Amino acid sequence: MKVFMQVHASKTNKISLVSGFKQMLKEGGVTSLWRGNGINVMKITPETAIKFMAYEQYKKLLSSEPGKVRTHERFMAGSLAGATAQTVIYPMEVMKTRMTLRKTGQYLGMFDCAKKVLKNEGVKAFYKGYIPNILGIIPYAGIDLAVYESLKNFWLSQYAKDTASPGVLVLLGCGTISSTCGQLASYPLALIRTRMQAQASVEGSEQLPMNLMVKKIMEKEGFFGLYRGILPNFMKSTEVWTQTAADGTFVDVTAGLCSYKENPAALTQG
Interval 241-260: pLDDT, tens:
565 555 555 454 444 434 43
- Residue 167 Ramachandran class (φ > 0 left, ψ -120 to 50 alpha, else beta): left
| Angle, in degrees to the nearest 10, between helices 168-198 and 230-262 | 130
Interval 104-118: pLDDT, tens:
888 888 899 999 999
What is the pLDDT at residue 259?
Answer: 40
User: Residue 263 above 70 pLDDT?
Assistant: no
The larger pLDDT score, comparing residue 235 to residue 97, is at: 97
What is the pLDDT at residue 138?
Answer: 76
Query: What does the mean pLDDT of the chain come to?
Result: 82
SS3 for 65? strand
**Whose CA is closest to 144, among 81, 205, 57?**
81
Interval 115-131: pLDDT, tens:
999 998 899 999 999 99
Please tell me whether the overall predicted TM-score, pTM, comes out greater than 0.75 for this model.
no
DSSP label at residue 68? B
Amino acid type, 11: K
> In this prediction, what percent of the chain has a pLDDT beyond 70?
84
> What gap in Å lies between CA 105 and CA 61, rounded to an integer?
49
- Residue 29 Ramachandran class (φ > 0 left, ψ -120 to 50 alpha, else beta): left
